[in-house]
Structure formats: structure tokens, C-alpha cells
């Protein structure tokens, strides 16, 4: 495989970046070589760093990632539910994106837009890296279940040799179904000023499910379907403009603007699957497809500073605005006056503005071998949402909500020089919410303590415990932004503790032979767990409110093994997590309930072989997910919430001809054996609705998908 190195920045590599890698990655996942060396590889791909596993950049690129799931599903403890472009939902250890800290270039993304779609919309091609903290293991990020930091590409890291300007074009197509292209220009305007301009466009078609038949809960073909999932056809575009200025060797200023747009005639409930959409459409005599448009605009100003010999600071100021619009005039077709009253145009808008500061200082201790690494900072984010309904027959509805959080934190890694390091930390959150449910202030100190011991350069163990905090969320935007919510001024913030023990080995076991092994056992305890659809005491049979329903515990185990020998490498992962609610007395019917997006025992494997004589890389990966039995859960199907297991295989090949090293050709087949399945982090099961009757919830994944792409850098 050919790679070429880009020239180093005049701005020296920040020690803070190395500290972040330490925070976000398990100890033994670091390279066994000198941690101070940073290698820049000219590969148009996405580097994934995670506290559960390390994935090589080129292996990710060869997957021709069209969806975030293509990047992350092979990481133990992580899944991406939602097959629709509007419904990408990252889950970590069964906790969904509402309980995670998700950011793009430092800009917070979490805003509960719509319960039928995910909180994250971004195309994988634009990403430079994804840093994942599986579980909350430090006071730096906060949150309940972990964090995901997406970073977009930068010009200087893409330039080769002495090049000052370059361009890249890429095009791809898939038979199931769609095509895309991207155009990028990047370079140096001066020795100190760089720029990047990127545009990606995707035309999505309705794909066919595995086996070519849309089946219901009885394995019978849904009437009126032909194997194709309607309501997916649309266009997605993503544009990014970045300017960076290296003020001097110690300071860098960067400004970026990204705009994302997803539009099409989509299904009303993107997460519930075609069988449910057809049933509701036929029952109410309304359209199957609805004109929908989602947009997100993000502007970010960032500043990097190296001050003194051993200190650095990174600051980001951002504004992130998302808007979901749908033309719902189709409700006028219903024969029921009740539903005709909903006809109109609906718009939900969510704006996140914030500032985050992250600093690091290295210092010597009182004893000869003692060293301290202080990581400290502040994080401020303000969420503002508004809902507008323009009723076709006249009149309108409007609602607004807001919430803000200010956090300060400091952490010290004390290295005693004998293999032992102790990492204490403290964080303070001050949270203020003004919503339809509650208007209140919350304040909480959270502590963390970790100890790690490195027996030698290859073997390390770590034990950590981190307190958790999360205030009540503002309501989902698209159904009213709190309009009509039942008041609950006494609702408490969620608190708890995450405890983990991990062991990892990384070393050579012979000539050109490398072995990596690791395992983590964890328990996450969330006290005063908040359920958005708790039965309202004394209310009507289907009347709900947001309330603390009990204490949730998530227990699990994750493991990985990797081996490399010359041109061959493989990695094997396993993950398991089980959640259980210890319900409060007034919610006894929920006792023992699990999280809706809990996944069965999961095994994934990845095999890569490089034929260096032809600059050809071959890859095969598969994932095996076990069944999940029937049981009580939160949010899930109320008649049958069991989940079928599945096995999915993918293969790919990447060719980089020696005579034209800037040309990349990739071929692949996803879902090689045409499996009929749905991710267990998506909607599954059978529910009963008093108007529509039984509904089969299945967010059908694509069947066999043959795809190819070509890219060339000038």
C-alpha cells in the first residue's frame, strides 16, 4: 500500500492533543513506539480512536463509508441504529445519543429534535477523525454514557510533499441504491494561511431489503409492497469551508463554516419502518410520503496556543443551528376532522451556542520521578429551541424552550515513575432549564479517580470510577417544544457513577508479528433515571409526563484481540451489556425494565490482506448479533419487544496503481449474503395502537449492496 507523508506544520504538535488521546483511548491501545511522534498519512479516510478498540485509517477508507454505521459498528459496545438518512442514532452500551456528548469540530450537537429521527446528521466522507469515549471515564467530557468527537478534514494534513495547492475529485455508485460525488480544493494562500473548500452530494434511492421481500411479524409479505423501502429517496449535500492562520509557531486561529442539507419526500416516521408507515397510511387515508427538509449550519472559531515550555490551550466558540421542516398539508386528505386539524407546515429549530476551553500543563512533582499532567478547562453551551405550526385552515402555534450548562473541570495524572499513575479529577456543572416540563436550576460536583499500572511497555491495567450528572432535557422540538407537556417542577437531575476495570496487552510476539489483547468490565449506575413517557399519576390511560422512574444499572463486558503478520492482519471483538431498572414504587410496572436499544451479545471480526506487489488491499468483515428475548423495556414495543439476531458480511478491495499513486479505486459488497435484518439499536417489535391496531416496527436495513468508487487527487 502506497502512502505519502505531508510536511509538518510550522505550528508544533500540541501536547494537549496527546493528552486527549490518552483520555479517550485505553492505555494499551496506544502505539508501542514513541508517543511523541506524529505521523501524517495522506489518506482520504477517517481515523477512529476509541477507548474500546483501534481501527486503522486505511481499513476505514476501504469501506467507502456512506453512513456513520459503516465507521463505528465494529467497535465493541457501540452501534448505530437507523437506516434512514434522517435517523442516524449512535448508541454506546445501549444508551442512545440523548445520553452522550456529541460534537462536530467542538460544536455540541445534542438537541432532541424529533423522536422519530436521530440527533446526528453528517456524511462520513467529510470526517478526518472520530474520537470515542466508551462510557464516561473522566470529568473532562461529562454526560452519562460517553462522548463522540467528530473532526472534519484540514488542508495542511492533506497536502503532499512541497505542494501548495491540490484538488481532489471522487465519485461513487451503489446498486442498492444511489450515487455520490465530492469535490475538494485545499492549499496554502501564504506560508501561514491555509484553506479547504469541500462539497459532497449524495443521491439516495429507495433500497431493497435482504431477500427482496418486506415482511411483517408473521413473516408474510406486507400488502402493497415489492421489497423496496419507500420513503428513503432524497438528496443530501454537505459543504465545508475552512481557513487557518498559523500566527506563529505557538498560535493558530481557524474559522470554519459547514452547511448540511437533507431533503426528499420521506416517510412520516423514519425510524419505524415501511410496515408501520403502510398500516398508518391505509388506516387514516393519508399520503405515505411527506415533503421534508433538514438543514444544519455550523460556524466555529477556534484558537490553539502553546504557552510556556509545557502548557497548551485550545478554545472553540461556535454556533450550531438545525432546522427540520415538513409540509403536513397531506393531513387534509384524512376523512377524520380530528386529523384534518393538523394540516399545515411544521418547522422546528434548535440552536446550540457555546464556548469550550481545554488546557494542559505538565509539571514535575515533589519527588524525583514524579510527574503531573494537569488537564483543565470550561465548557458552556446554551440550547434554544422553537416550534412553529402554520395551520392550513388558519391560525398558528408557537412555543420556545431553553437550557444552558456551565461546567468547570480539572484533572491531574500523577505519574510516580515506577509504572503507577493515579488520576483524580473534579467537575462542577451548573445547569439552568426553562421548559414546558420544568423551570429550575441544578448544580452538582462530580469526582473521578483512576489508577493505572504499567507492568512493562506492553501490559497495563486500569481501574476507574467517575461520578455522573445530567439535568432534565428540554422537550423534543418538532412536536411542540414543550407545547402541551405536563408540568413536573419536582423532577430531579440524573446522577450516578461509572466504574470500569480494563486490562490490555500490545506488543511484538515474533518477527513481524504483533498481538493486541484487551478486555473491560464495567457497571454504570444512573440514579433518578428520567423516562420521557412515564404514566401520569391520576391521568388518562395514555397520558404521560417526564419523570424520575427509578435507578438504572447497566452491566457489561467488552473484549478485543488483534494480530498482524506481515501483510495479514485481523481483529476480533466481543461485547455484552445488560440494563435493568430498579423502579420507584409509583412506577412498579416498570421494575426490571431494560433500555430500549439494548443489543444482544455481539461478535465482530475484520480480516485484511495486502498484496503489495499490486498495491492491492483486500478486506472481509462480519458481525454476529445474538437474539434479545422478550422482556419489559422503556420506549419499546408493548406487545412483543423481542429482537431477532443476525449475521452480516461485507467485503472490499482497494487498488492504488503504482503508476498513478494519486488514483484510488475501491470495490465492495455490503451485506454479501443478502441478510434480512434490522439493527437492534433501531425500532423493533410489535406494538398496539388504539387507532391503528397492531404495528410491526422494523427499521429495515439494506439488502446486498454492490458499490464502487474512484478518487483522484491533483
- Whether cis (ω within 30° of 0) applies to the bond prior to 177 is yes
Q: What pLDDT score was predicted for residue 116? A: 86
Number of structural domains the chain divides into = 1
Q: What pLDDT score was predicted for residue 129? A: 79
Q: What pLDDT score was predicted for residue 70? A: 67
Q: Is residue 689 part of a domain?
A: yes
* pLDDT digits 0-9 by tens, 463-519: 999 999 999 999 999 988 899 899 999 999 999 999 999 999 988 888 889 999 999
Here the cell at position 458 is 506492553
The CA R_g of the chain, rounded to the nearest whole Å, is 25
Q: What pLDDT score was predicted for residue 512? A: 85
Q: Is residue 36 part of a domain?
A: yes
Q: Is residue 409 part of a domain?
A: no
Q: Is residue 406 part of a domain?
A: no
Q: For 40-49, 270-279, 552-561, which range has the lowest pLDDT when averaged over its residues?
A: 40-49
Higher pLDDT, 42 or 370: 370
CA distances to 81, 119, 702 from 116, rounded to whole Å, are: 12, 10, 19
Q: Is residue 539 part of a domain?
A: yes
Q: What pLDDT score was predicted for residue 183? A: 95
CB 417 within 8 A of CB 370: yes
Full DSSP string of 138-191: STTT-SSSEEEEEEE--STTT--BT-SEEEEEEEEEETTTEEEEEEEEEEESSS
* CA neighbor of 466 nearest in space, from 49, 10, 9, 51: 51
Q: What pLDDT score was predicted for residue 57? A: 41
Mean pLDDT in residue range 564-588: 94
In whole angstroms, give the CA distance from residue 329 to residue 661. 53
In whole angstroms, give the CA distance from residue 18 to residue 334. 59
In whole angstroms, give the CA distance from residue 352 to residue 429. 17
Task: For the chain, give the percent of residues with pLDDT over 70.
Answer: 90
Q: What pLDDT score was predicted for residue 229? A: 95
* CA neighbor of 474 nearest in space, from 352, 596, 379, 635: 352
In whole angstroms, give the CA distance from residue 554 to residue 580. 7
* pLDDT digits 0-9 by tens, 599-641: 999 999 999 999 999 999 999 999 999 999 999 998 888 899 9
In terms of Cβ atoms closer than 10 Å to its own Cβ (0-12, 13-18, 19+), residue 201 is middle
In whole angstroms, give the CA distance from residue 283 to residue 274. 14
Q: Going along 566-644, which residue ranges are E strands?
A: 568-583, 602-611, 616-625
Q: Going along 10-84, which residue ranges are E strands?
A: 47-50, 54-55, 78-81
Q: What domain range includes position 611?
A: 15-391+419-486+509-713
Q: For 10-19, 244-253, 399-408, 418-427, which range has the lowest pLDDT when averaged over its residues?
A: 10-19
**Is residue 387 pLDDT above 60, yes or no?**
yes
Q: For 138-142, 200-204, 288-292, 366-370, which range has the lowest pLDDT when averaged over its residues?
A: 366-370
* CA neighbor of 70 nearest in space, from 54, 50, 46: 46
Q: Is residue 407 part of a domain?
A: no
Here the cell at position 206 is 429507495
Q: What is the dihedral of CA 687, 692, 696, 701, to 10 degrees?
A: -120
Q: What pLDDT score was predicted for residue 142? A: 84
What is the layout of strands, in order, in the sheet containing 47-50? 54-55, 47-50, 127-134, 146-152, 101-104, 107-108
Higher pLDDT, 546 or 154: 546
Q: What pLDDT score was predicted for residue 73? A: 73
Task: For the chain, give the percent of residues with pLDDT over 90.
Answer: 66
CA distances to 219, 354, 587, 647 from 283, rounded to whole Å, are: 21, 45, 33, 34
Here the cell at position 243 is 481557513
Q: What pLDDT score was predicted for residue 126? A: 75
Q: For 45-54, 161-170, 415-424, 465-474, which range has the lowest pLDDT when averaged over its residues?
A: 45-54
Q: For 314-318, 337-341, 700-704, which range has the lowest pLDDT when averaged over its residues?
A: 337-341
Q: What pLDDT score was predicted for residue 65? A: 60
Cell 414543550 found at: 482
Return mean pLDDT, the chain. 87
Q: What pLDDT score was predicted for residue 52? A: 59
Q: Is residue 377 part of a domain?
A: yes
Q: How confident is the model at residue 219 (pLDDT cuts 50, 70, 90)?
A: very high
Here the cell at position 582 is 430498579
| H helix intervals, 306-389 | 337-340
**Is residue 163 pLDDT above 50, yes or no?**
yes
Query: How many beta carbons lie within 10 A of that of residue 285, not counting itself?
Result: 11
Q: What pLDDT score was predicted for residue 64? A: 57
CATH number for the domain including 152?
A: 2.40.170.20
Q: What pLDDT score was predicted for residue 101? A: 86
Q: How confident is the model at residue 105 (pLDDT cuts 50, 70, 90)?
A: confident
**Is residue 440 pLDDT above 50, yes or no?**
yes
Here the cell at position 254 is 481557524
Amino acid at each position: 500500500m502506497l502512502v505519502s507523508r505531508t510536511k509538518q506544520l510550522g505550528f508544533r504538535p500540541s501536547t494537549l492533543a496527546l493528552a486527549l488521546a490518552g483520555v479517550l483511548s485505553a492505555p494499551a491501545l496506544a502505539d508501542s513506539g514513541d508517543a511523541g511522534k506524529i505521523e501524517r498519512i495522506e489518506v482520504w479516510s477517517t481515523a477512529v480512536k476509541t477507548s474500546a478498540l483501534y481501527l486503522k485509517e486505511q481499513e476505514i477508507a476501504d469501506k467507502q463509508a456512506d453512513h456513520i454505521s459503516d465507521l463505528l459498528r465494529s467497535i465493541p459496545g457501540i452501534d448505530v441504529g437507523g437506516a434512514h438518512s434522517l435517523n442516524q442514532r449512535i448508541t454506546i452500551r445501549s444508551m442512545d445519543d440523548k445520553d452522550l456528548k456529541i460534537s462536530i469540530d467542538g460544536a455540541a450537537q445534542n438537541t432532541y429534535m424529533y423522536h422519530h429521527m436521530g440527533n446526528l446528521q453528517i456524511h462520513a466522507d467529510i470526517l478526518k477523525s472520530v474520537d470515542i469515549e466508551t462510557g464516561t471515564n473522566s470529568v473532562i467530557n461529562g454526560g452519562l454514557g460517553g462522548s463522540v468527537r467528530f473532526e472534519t478534514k484540514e488542508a495542511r494534513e492533506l497536502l503532499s510533499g512541497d505542494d501548495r495547492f491540490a484538488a481532489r475529485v471522487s465519485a461513487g455508485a451503489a446498486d442498492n441504491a444511489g450515487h455520490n460525488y465530492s469535490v475538494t480544493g485545499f492549499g496554502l494562500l501564504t506560508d501561514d494561511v491555509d484553506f479547504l473548500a469541500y462539497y459532497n452530494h449524495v443521491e439516495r434511492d429507495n433500497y431493497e431489503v435482504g431477500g427482496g421481500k418486506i415482511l411483517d411479524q408473521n413473516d408474510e409479505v406486507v400488502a402493497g409492497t415489492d421489497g423496496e423501502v419507500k420513503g428513503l429517496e432524497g438528496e443530501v449535500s454537505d459543504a465545508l469551508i475552512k481557513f487557518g492562520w498559523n500566527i506563529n509557531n505557538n498560535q493558530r486561529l481557524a474559522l470554519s463554516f459547514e452547511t448540511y442539507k437533507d431533503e426528499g419526500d420521506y416517510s412520516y416516521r423514519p425510524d419505524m419502518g415501511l410496515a408501520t408507515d403502510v398500516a398508518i397510511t391505509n388506516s387514516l387515508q393519508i399520503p405515505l410520503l411527506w415533503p421534508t427538509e433538514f438543514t444544519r449550519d455550523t460556524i466555529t472559531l477556534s484558537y490553539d496556543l502553546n504557552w510556556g515550555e509545557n502548557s497548551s490551550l485550545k478554545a472553540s466558540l461556535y454556533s450550531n443551528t438545525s432546522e427540520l421542516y415538513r409540509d403536513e398539508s397531506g393531513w387534509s386528505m384524512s376523512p377524520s376532522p380530528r386529523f384534518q386539524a393538523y394540516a399545515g407546515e411544521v418547522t422546528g429549530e434548535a440552536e446550540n451556542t457555546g464556548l469550550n476551553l481545554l488546557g494542559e500543563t505538565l509539571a514535575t512533582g515533589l519527588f524525583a520521578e514524579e510527574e503531573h499532567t494537569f488537564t483543565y478547562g470550561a465548557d458552556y453551551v446554551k440550547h434554544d429551541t422553537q416550534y412553529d405550526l402554520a395551520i392550513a385552515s388558519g391560525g398558528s402555534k408557537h412555543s420556545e424552550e431553553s437550557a444552558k450548562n456551565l461546567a468547570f473541570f480539572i484533572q491531574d495524572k500523577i505519574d510516580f515513575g515506577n509504572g503507577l499513575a493515579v488520576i483524580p479529577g473534579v467537575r462542577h456543572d451548573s445547569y439552568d432549564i426553562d421548559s414546558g416540563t420544568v423551570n429550575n436550576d441544578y448544580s452538582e460536583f462530580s469526582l473521578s479517580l483512576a489508577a493505572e499500572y504499567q507492568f512493562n511497555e506492553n501490559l497495563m491495567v486500569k481501574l476507574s470510577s467517575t461520578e455522573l450528572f445530567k439535568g432534565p432535557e428540554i422537550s423534543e422540538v418538532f412536536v411542540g417544544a414543550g407545547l402541551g407537556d405536563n408540568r413536573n417542577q419536582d423532577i430531579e437531575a440524573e446522577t450516578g457513577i461509572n466504574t470500569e476495570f480494563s486490562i490490555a496487552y500490545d506488543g511484538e510476539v515474533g518477527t513481524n508479528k504483533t498481538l493486541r489483547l484487551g478486555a473491560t468490565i464495567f457497571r454504570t449506575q444512573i440514579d433518578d433515571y428520567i423516562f420521557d413517557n412515564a404514566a401520569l399519576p391520576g391521568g388518562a390511560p395514555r397520558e404521560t409526563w417526564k419523570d424520575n422512574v427509578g435507578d438504572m444499572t447497566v452491566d457489561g463486558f467488552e473484549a478485543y484481540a488483534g494480530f498482524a503478520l506481515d501483510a495479514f492482519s485481523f481483529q476480533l471483538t466481543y461485547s455484552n451489556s445488560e440494563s435493568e431498572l430498579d423502579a420507584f414504587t409509583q412506577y412498579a410496572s416498570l421494575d426490571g425494565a431494560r433500555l430500549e436499544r439494548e443489543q444482544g451479545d455481539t461478535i465482530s471480526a475484520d480480516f485484511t490482506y495486502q498484496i503489495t506487489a499490486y498495491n492491492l488491499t483486500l478486506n472481509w468483515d462480519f458481525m454476529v448479533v445474538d437474539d434479545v428475548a422478550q422482556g419489559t423495556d422503556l420506549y419499546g414495543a408493548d406487545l412483543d419487544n423481542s429482537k431477532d439476531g443476525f449475521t452480516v458480511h461485507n467485503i472490499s478491495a482497494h487498488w492504488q496503481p503504482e503508476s498513478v499513486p494519486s488514483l484510488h479505486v475501491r470495490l465492495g459488497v455490503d451485506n454479501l449474503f443478502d441478510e434480512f435484518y434490522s439493527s437492534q439499536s433501531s425500532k423493533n417489535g410489535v406494538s398496539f395502537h388504539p387507532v391503528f391496531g397492531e404495528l410491526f416496527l422494523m427499521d429495515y436495513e439494506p439488502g446486498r449492496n454492490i458499490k464502487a468508487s474512484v478518487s483522484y487527487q491533483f
